[in-house]
């Protein structure tokens, strides 16, 4: 895509416009702020698939009843060692934030906690929740399922059966940013395919099948009727991880699972998180020492980057230069803003 079709938007302006849109849609101030901060942070880190480009999907979900604004998180089960929180299809950026806060408090008190968030609207970039735990000095792992219509084919298959079911983990460091592992179990997140489609560029080979089960690099094939299918990362290994995310994230705690082809317009996530406090367990010192020893060993070559480092480099650059938004996405954001009553649209021209 040529530079003329891209707009570099200052991050704070993009955030203000996103807040205004959700306030117009009916969100209370805290909810609008948490949604906007999360989405713009995803853009800053280079994950445009999970940035403001999802706003039109959120507004469509609101209209269809899949997103419930101003919802309060409900603790449905509390066994002491485990919390099951029901989101009631509330805004994922609020529901996941509040669930992680409960888990952080519990892990600090007892050393560890298992927190399940079920039946939430789209919770966005999963690494964000791992980072929330890491900023509190805690190690965490997260398994997530996606119920929005089947979009990924199992290894060995040609028909979509599950969602992109992401996984994340984060490890805090004393005087450095945390190590953050965050990936979809499909070769590409569906949002990255949407971004490529909006930009009019191809995707890498080996990531997508058309609706006849044939390999394609045309991102538009994912959005045809019937749609194509994404492929798993790592062949059978990614397929196994994808299934584990479905069963741990949702089935185990009575949350909705993806077991039919079509969706209803909503994007529902459930997340199974394990949060551990090294300090509360008395292993904080050795953990920090061994962590740094491992990281020093694996990154001894200049060409090696730790998980999360490329995102921080992108963030630094985009804070200075602005966030690139393609023309098609800006048009979709304008339409979404007008849909909720903002006559001047999204405000980025």
Q: What is the structure's pLDDT at 263?
A: 79
Report how far residue 318's alpha carbon sits from residue 7's, in angstroms, rounded to the nearest whole number: 12
The answer for 258, left when phi > 0, alpha when psi is -120 to 50, beta otherwise, is: beta
Q: What is the structure's pLDDT at 1?
A: 40
Sign for the pseudo-dihedral over CA of 201, 148, 95, 84? negative
Report yes or no: 109 and 127 within 8 Å, Cβ to Cβ: no
Q: What is the structure's pLDDT at 294?
A: 98
Q: What are phi and psi of 113, to 5 degrees?
A: -155, 145
Report how far residue 268's alpha carbon sits from residue 95's, in angstroms, rounded to the nearest whole number: 12
Q: What is the structure's pLDDT at 2?
A: 43
The class (CATH top level) of 187-231 is alpha beta
The answer to whether domain 3-184+234-339 has CATH 3.30.830.10 is no
Q: What is the structure's pLDDT at 265?
A: 77
* SS3 per residue for 225-285: CCCCEECECCCHHHHHHHHHHHHHHCHHHCCCCCCCCCCCCCCEEEEEEEEECHHHHCCHH
Domain ranges of the chain: 3-184+234-339, 187-231
Q: What is the structure's pLDDT at 5?
A: 80
State the pairing for strand pair 82-86/112-121: parallel
Report yes or no: 33 and 22 within 8 Å, Cβ to Cβ: no
Dig out the tokens for 84 from the structure.
């099951």
Indicate the helix (H) or strand (E) that contains 169: strand 167-171
Report how far residue 128's alpha carbon sits from residue 41's, in angstroms, rounded to the nearest whole number: 9
Report how far residue 7's alpha carbon sits from residue 161's, in angstroms, rounded to the nearest whole number: 36
Report how far residue 296's alpha carbon sits from residue 300's, in angstroms, rounded to the nearest whole number: 6
pLDDT in tens, the chain (349 residues): 444 588 999 999 999 999 999 999 999 999 999 999 999 999 999 999 999 999 999 999 999 999 999 999 999 999 999 999 999 999 999 999 999 999 999 999 999 999 999 999 999 999 999 999 999 999 999 999 999 999 999 999 999 999 999 999 999 999 999 999 999 999 998 889 999 999 999 999 999 999 999 999 999 999 998 899 999 999 999 999 999 999 999 999 999 999 988 777 789 999 999 999 999 999 999 999 999 999 999 999 999 999 999 999 999 999 999 999 999 999 999 999 999 999 999 998 6
Taking alpha carbons only, the member of 267, 314, 225 closest to residue 42 is 314
Q: What are the CA-CA distances from residue 259 to residues 117, 118, 138, 147, 173 (Å)?
A: 19, 16, 34, 9, 40
């Amino acid at each position: 895509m040529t530079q003329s079709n891209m707009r570099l938007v200052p991050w704070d302006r993009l955030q203000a416009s996103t807040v205004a849109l959700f306030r117009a849609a009916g969100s209370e101030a805290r909810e609008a702020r948490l949604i906007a901060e999360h989405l713009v942070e995803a853009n800053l880190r280079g994950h445009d698939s999970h940035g403001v480009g999802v706003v039109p999907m959120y507004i469509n979900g609101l209209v269809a009843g899949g997103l419930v604004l101003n919802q309060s998180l409900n603790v449905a089960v509390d066994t002491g060692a485990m919390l099951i929180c029901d989101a009631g299809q509330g805004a994922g950026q609020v529901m996941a934030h509040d669930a992680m806060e409960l888990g952080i408090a519990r892990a600090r008190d007892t050393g560890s906690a298992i927190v399940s968030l079920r039946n939430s609207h789209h919770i966005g970039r999963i690494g964000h929740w791992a980072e929330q735990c890491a900023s509190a000095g805690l190690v965490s792992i997260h398994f997530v399922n996606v119920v929005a219509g089947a979009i990924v084919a199992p290894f060995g298959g040609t028909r979509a059966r599950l969602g992109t079911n992401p996984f994340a983990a984060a490890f805090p460091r004393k005087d450095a940013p945390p190590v953050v592992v965050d990936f979809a179990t499909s070769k590409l997140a569906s949002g990255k395919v949407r971004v490529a489609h909006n930009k009019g560029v191809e995707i890498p080979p080996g990531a997508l099948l058309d609706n006849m089960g044939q390999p394609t690099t045309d991102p538009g094939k994912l959005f045809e009727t019937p749609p194509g299918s994404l492929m798993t990362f790592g062949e059978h290994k990614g397929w196994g991880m994808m299934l584990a995310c479905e069963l741990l994230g949702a089935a185990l705690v009575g949350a909705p699972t993806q077991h039919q082809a079509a969706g209803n317009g909503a994007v529902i996530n459930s997340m199974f998180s394990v949060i551990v406090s090294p300090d509360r367990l008395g292993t904080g010192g050795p953990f920090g020492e061994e962590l740094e020893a491992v990281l020093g060993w694996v990154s001894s070559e200049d060409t090696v980057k730790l998980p999360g480092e490329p995102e921080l480099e992108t963030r630094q650059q985009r804070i200075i230069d602005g966030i690139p938004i393609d023309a098609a996405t800006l048009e979709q954001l304008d339409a979404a803003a007008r849909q909720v009553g903002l006559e001047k649209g999204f405000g980025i021209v």
